[in-house]
């Protein structure tokens, strides 16, 4: 096993320690052992990062679109070449199995390529004029330096969506990545630096989240904010950004409904949804959570789904036979225990799982609950863990009512063999993303974002660039 590296700040093209020498310990969630440290930025470091981002923006925004594209494509090439090394680091700090870590990194490289290509096509347009001798042009310009805040569940993929969109549009960016998982996003940033991104264009800091967010969002040089994380924190940051008239992209929490109709391929639906549910130990914002199953097939679906859950080998992500790693930190274990305890105390039944595994590491058994009611916390609060909630329904109206009951609207899932049912789901499920009869979310070329309390803006598809561009109109009359 490779050693785990300590992580420094990346400011103005240099990897540096914090000026006051502070560090934060990094813990391996599979062992609960400290494996390294990450530099803790203070106010002088943040001031230096913003000043560097201003200088970097002046350089990068004036660079030709094709040159920016070329550098980004080289960063993707370097990331692919370093996948095995970085995947091991990612697994050590986050816990997910190596196969999932590799998939995340390869997906990140694809995202860079996609956004680099889209940056070459971020066109303005000419508008035909009513008057002779008058030209009318719509110009799309980079908004300016960006402050980005990303979580620990996908420490590379959540960063790459923000960095890729910023760089593709000519913006500079300061990333505040998660202190729990610092080394893998640092490896991503290193790939960009090694590819030739000029000093100051990309910065990376760690420290006290509230201090960093309050400092960066309020700074007049920062012109855009992008955040992925909980709805509670997202609302606070969105309010702060709004008070300074900063545009914001918010990718927040969800409580994904999955509607399984009796005419669906039940075995396929159970296997597909179980794979989605227990990926990354359920620590996925788009994870299916509330399973709404038509009553005639309810027992069969729960049986098939639970059988898959029982077969999942939980263990250290570095071991070759591990299919699900630990939760990322002890807070997630405590949250699972509290939510499940509340549910069972109110009558929920545990079909499988329901408890922590072992005495070392943050391992939790894949869990299936039935006999749930809407007064249970777990039916209203995003569990963000390996817990599937199963309830039957009798009519599609009933399923749609439950699917749309919560203020969240991120991802939703459905399985049906009837085209009219699929069409109704398309029209009536209130979610930013709906996938029917397969898993088709989070690809670089498709939109990624929610509605309602799940946020606003997109971090995928051509829409990902919109929030990083100002739209300006210029009309000129020929001088005569």
Catalytic residues: 251, 285
Is residue 139 within 8 Å of 127, Cβ to Cβ?
A: no
For residue 187, the Cα-to-chain-centroid distance in whole angstroms is 18
Is residue 72 within 8 Å of 465, Cβ to Cβ?
A: no
Largest Cα separation within the chain, whole Å, is 84
Residue pointed to by tokens 């639906």:
269
Q: What angle do CA 230, 186, 221 make, to 5 degrees?
A: 70
Reduced 3-state DSSP string for 247-262:
EEEEECCCCEEEEECC
CA distance 340 to 275: 21
Is residue 300 within 8 Å of 266, Cβ to Cβ?
A: yes
Residues with Cβ < 8 Å from 330, sequence gap 6 or more?
Answer: 32, 362
Six token digits for residue 136: 């009318």
Q: How many CB atoms lie within 10 A of CB 422?
A: 17
CA distance 441 to 447: 8
């Amino acid at each position: 096993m490779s050693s785990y590296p300590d992580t420094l700040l990346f400011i103005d093209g240099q990897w540096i320690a914090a000026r006051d020498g502070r560090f934060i310990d990094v813990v391996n969630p599979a062992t609960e052992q400290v494996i390294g440290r990450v530099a803790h930025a203070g106010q002088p470091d943040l001031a230096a990062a913003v000043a560097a981002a201003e200088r970097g923006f002046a350089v990068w925004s004036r660079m030709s679109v094709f040159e920016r594209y070329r550098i980004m494509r080289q960063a993707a090439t370097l990331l692919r070449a370093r996948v095995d090394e970085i995947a091991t680091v990612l697994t050590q700090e986050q816990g997910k199995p190596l196969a999932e870590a590799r998939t995340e990194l390869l997906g990140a490289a694809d995202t860079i390529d996609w956004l680099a290509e889209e940056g070459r096509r971020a066109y303005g347009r000419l508008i035909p004029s009513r008057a002779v001798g008058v030209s009318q042009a719509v110009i799309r310009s980079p908004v300016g330096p960006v402050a980005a805040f990303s979580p620990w569940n996908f420490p590379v993929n959540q960063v790459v969506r923000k960095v890729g969109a910023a760089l593709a549009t000519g913006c500079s960016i300061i990333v505040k990545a998660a202190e729990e998982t610092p080394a893998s996003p640092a490896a991503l940033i290193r790939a960009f630096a090694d590819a030739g991104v000029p000093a100051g264009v990309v910065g990376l800091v760690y420290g006290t989240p509230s201090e960093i967010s309050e400092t960066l969002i309020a700074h007049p040089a920062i012109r855009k904010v992008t955040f992925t994380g909980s709805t509670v924190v997202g609302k606070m940051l969105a309010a702060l950004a709004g008070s300074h008239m900063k545009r914001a992209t918010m990718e927040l929490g969800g409580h994904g409904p999955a509607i399984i109709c009796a005419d669906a391929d039940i075995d396929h639906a159970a296997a597909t949804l179980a794979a989605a549910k227990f990926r990354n130990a359920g620590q996925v914002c788009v994870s299916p959570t509330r399973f709404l199953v038509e009553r005639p097939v309810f027992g069969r679906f729960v049986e098939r789904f639970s059988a898959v859950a029982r077969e999942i080998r939980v263990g250290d992500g570095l071991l070759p036979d591990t299919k699900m790693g630990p939760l990322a930190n002890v807070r997630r274990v405590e949250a699972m225990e509290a939510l499940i305890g509340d549910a069972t105390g109110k009558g929920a039944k545990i079909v499988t799982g329901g408890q922590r595994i072992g005495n070392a590491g943050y391992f939790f058994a894949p869990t299936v609950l039935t006999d749930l009611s809407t007064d249970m916390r777990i039916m209203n609060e995003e569990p963000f863990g390996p817990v599937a909630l199963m309830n039957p329904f009798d009519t599609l109206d009933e399923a749609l009512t439950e699917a749309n009951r919560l203020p969240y609207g991120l991802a939703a899932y459905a399985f049906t063999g009837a085209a009219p049912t699929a069409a109704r789901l398309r029209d009536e499920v209130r979610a930013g993303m709906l996938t029917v009869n397969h898993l088709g979310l989070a690809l670089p070329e498709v939109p990624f974002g929610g509605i309602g309390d799940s946020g606003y803006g997109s971090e995928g598809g051509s829409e990902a660039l919109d929030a990083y561009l100002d739209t300006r109109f210029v009309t000129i009359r020929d001088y005569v």
